[in-house]
A and B are shown apart, each in its own frame.
Chain A
Amino acid sequence: MSLWVDKYRPKTLDELSYHEGLTTRMRALANSGDFPHLLVYGPSGAGKKTRISCILRELFGKGVERLKIDQRVFLTPSKRKLDVNIVQSNYHIELTPSDVGNYDRVVIQDLLKEIAQTQQVDLNAKQRFKVVVINEADLLSRDAQAALRRTMEKFMSNMRIILCANSTSRLIAPIKSRCLLMRVAAPSPEEIKTVLQQVAKNVGFDLPPEASEKIAEDSNGNLRKATLVLEALKMQSKDLNSPSLTIPKPDWESYCHKVADLIMSEQTPAKVMEVRGKFYELLSHCIPPTVILKTVAERLVDQMDESLKADVMYWAAFYERRMRMGNKKIFHLEAWVIKVMCLYKHYFFDVDMEDLNAFD
């Protein structure tokens, strides 16, 4: 029994429901015989992976769905062993090189060279090339990207690369200029609603429009989340018609909101200690610190005075970046909380913030 997200995931290009223009382009490219390297980018939950697997299906036929999972060992120059999980079929291979952090260059070089130098032996194969799908391409180190550069040109005859990324900002220009860019935008609420209705029909129940409306609104353009929420709701209550239907927030989210409320309630060192404890709790549950910061900040600006909102966001961005550069996440979360408390308090007592607020 699989989740609805996987069960009702479109398998062929014909089943894709939104971004029709993109779909026709993909179909045309797959059938033209001159398939370029692709760079598929867009926010999470927009359907990038689904589209990639549909293209593969269109290119190679049913054979690509026979997957096997492999664990490969790579050796770094310093003789350290790296384990990388690889999903592959006869026609394609899928990997996430950023899993191994700084050593991703080794993986890219070794694996791609190996694939590039072997030719397709299956005479019945529809295409002469193999496809390499690289996930999270935006997290590749610069070295790894530079290593891709020449390989992409040199081994064009028996390999194509499909890069999957959230954003193109961190990809170096030479890579971008070698790929055909495909932007997969997040679906609009209407499109999400249609998909949800479709899923409900396939499962065999009636989804009231109000419920789908609510789910679509809550999902923020993330179709995966929307489908998961739908399934969770259906499991919880048989009847989705009741007007009191609320979408349960994940635990960490309500916990983050609690933190925000704490910050608003009182601005004292004691409270900072309390908040710090809560942050630790969240971090130890593997909630990414950026997500924590963003969720708390969003909640804070909802309650704050208009004139303070911009400042809160400014400092959130400021400390988020420091957090990336730094090592210890909790320091920066704390620093931000103290900053916000400071701002809030000064605002209340109407103290001149000239020296405090370096914001322009």
Chain B
Amino acid sequence: MFGHQQKNAQQAVEERSQPWVEKYRPKTIDDVAAQEHTVSVLRKALTSTNLPHMLFYGPPGTGKTSTILALARQLFGPDNFKSRVLELNASDERGISIVREKVKNFARQTPRAHGAASDGNTYPCPPYKIIILDEADSMTQDAQGALRRIMETYARITRFCLVCNYVTRIIEPLASRCSKFRFKPLDTGSTSARLAQIALSEQVHVTEEVISALVSTSAGDLRRSITYLQSASRLATSTDPPAPIAPRDIQEIAGVVPDEVMKGFALSLGVDSNPSTTSGSKKQNFDSIRQQVKSIMRLGYSAAQVLSQLHDLIIQHPTLTARQKSTCALAFADADHALCDGADEELWVLQLALRVNKAIS
């Protein structure tokens, strides 16, 4: 009994600190935001109780995992869910040995007859199990190869759902066994609608500007924008009295460099963000650029973030010529590669700044 009480208390704690991303995962596939095409195909599958193997791909935060989980829940109901669905993701060990043992063992079990659902609803509960391989693009080639035959042999009683970001990392024989569904980045409308809905049920007051800041910093990734919203509301409610959330807070949480800093930096490189005031000489001297880079690095912003924001600024610049832009793009690509290799941040930001300046002047 003591144990039971403790469990309840623990559950309450978990409830409170549960990430909103989990809390507001869609319960049915009709809840899934924006992916109309996929949803309409899957709805048919729900009624006909037949399902192909599936391959979901698309950028992060577009609802791939949510969709398959919601679908499985609708198919099997909460009681049978555990026995009918196997979910494996990248944090589980997923080498070839696991595929051979765990996946194969699960795949060849004949699904148990289902009892009546305890919550009174009826579920179609078709006679197959679902294996969800989340983040399948991080599986090794060998492990994927081992799946090939398993998928065919047990196709009668098991359906696979591969979820990945890059469809090209899935070996061709696997991809050809699945029907593919592409998930596109969420449009502004549905992201902001969903955010507003969450804010309403969490009783967080957000303004239009905050929502648009969230949408722009997350670039179609709904999970990211929800996490930012939660962090922001945590910060806002923890002060006394609760302060309203400002768009600037969102940017700070996301680690975005403020626009003024970025504009100042660009200006020192000779990129005038306001082209109506054409300055005479665009060639800046070396020392002033070095000074700028130093001060930006001292503020502690990450080089990758500076890189991507400067990139946006230059590529969308109205007056630079295409040639100048492409020269800059080359420099950006180089610097990004170097940063991924772990090169020194300050040196590379400086190098990039010099190259951009040279390309523009």
Once the chains bind, are A42 and B345 in contact (CB under 8 Å)? no
Once the chains bind, are B286 and A309 in contact (CB under 8 Å)? yes
Is B151's beta carbon under 8 Å from chain A?
no
Given A34-B17, A314-B351, A360-B327, decide whether A185 and B300 contact each other with a Cβ distance below 8 A.
yes
Is B252's beta carbon under 8 Å from chain A?
yes
Report A-chain residues with C-beta under 8 Å of the C-beta of B238.
25, 28-29, 31-32, 34
Would you list which residues of chain B between 230 and 246 have a CB under 8 Å from chain A? 231, 234-235, 237-240
Report A-chain residues with C-beta under 8 Å of the C-beta of B297.
43
Report A-chain residues with C-beta under 8 Å of the C-beta of B304.
168-169
Once the chains bind, are B14 and A157 in contact (CB under 8 Å)? yes
Give A339 Cβ to nearest chain B Cβ, in Å: 14
Once the chains bind, are B13 and A128 in contact (CB under 8 Å)? yes
Give B226 Cβ to nearest chain A Cβ, in Å: 9
Once the chains bind, are B286 and A321 in contact (CB under 8 Å)? no
Is A221's beta carbon under 8 Å from chain B?
yes
> Considering only CB atoms, which chain B residue lies closest to A323 in the complex?
B343
Contact among A221, A301, A317, A325 for B351, CB-based, below 8 A: A317
Contact among A24, A147, A183 for B255, CB-based, below 8 A: A183
Once the chains bind, are A181 and B347 in contact (CB under 8 Å)? no
Q: Which among B31-39, B170-178, B181-189, B353-361 touches the partner chain?
A: B353-361
Interface size of B in residues (CB-CB distance below 8 Å) = 63
> Considering only CB atoms, which chain A residue lies closest to B293 in the complex?
A313
Given A290-B344, A325-B341, decide whether A150 and B91 contact each other with a Cβ distance below 8 A.
yes
Q: List 9 A-B contacts (CB under 8 A).
A: A25-B238, A146-B90, A147-B91, A167-B302, A169-B339, A177-B227, A183-B299, A317-B344, A360-B355
Given A42-B300, A46-B300, decide whether A294 and B90 contact each other with a Cβ distance below 8 A.
no
* Majority secondary structure of chain A interface residues (helix, strand, loop or mixed): helix
- B: residues with CB less than 8 A from A are 10, 13-14, 16-19, 22, 60, 89-92, 138, 223-224, 227-228, 231, 234-235, 237-240, 252-255, 285-286, 290, 294, 297-305, 327, 330-331, 338-348, 350-351, 354-355, 357-359
Give A35 Cβ to nearest chain B Cβ, in Å: 9
Once the chains bind, are A310 and B13 in contact (CB under 8 Å)? no
> Considering only CB atoms, which chain A residue lies closest to B342 in the complex?
A324
Counting contact residues on chain A (CB < 8 A from B), the size range is 35 or more
Report A-chain residues with C-beta under 8 Å of the C-beta of B338.
317, 321
Give B256 Cβ to nearest chain A Cβ, in Å: 10
Once the chains bind, are A168 and B255 in contact (CB under 8 Å)? yes
With the chains together, A28 CA to B286 CA distance in Å? 44
Once the chains bind, are A149 and B343 in contact (CB under 8 Å)? no
Once the chains bind, are B14 and A156 in contact (CB under 8 Å)? yes
Report A-chain residues with C-beta under 8 Å of the C-beta of B331.
360
7 tightest Cβ-Cβ pairs between the two chains A and B:
A150-B91, A42-B300, A32-B238, A28-B238, A317-B351, A169-B304, A321-B343
Given A128-B13, A173-B60, A324-B343, decide whether A313 and B300 contact each other with a Cβ distance below 8 A.
no
Report B-chain residues with C-beta under 8 Å of the C-beta of A167.
302-303, 345
Report A-chain residues with C-beta under 8 Å of the C-beta of B252.
181, 183
Is A263's beta carbon under 8 Å from chain B?
no
With the chains together, A175 CA to B101 CA distance in Å? 30
Report B-chain residues with C-beta under 8 Å of the C-beta of A100.
none
With the chains together, A169 CA to B294 CA distance in Å? 17
> Considering only CB atoms, which chain B residue lies closest to A48 in the complex?
B300
Contact among A28, A43, A297 for B240, CB-based, below 8 A: A28
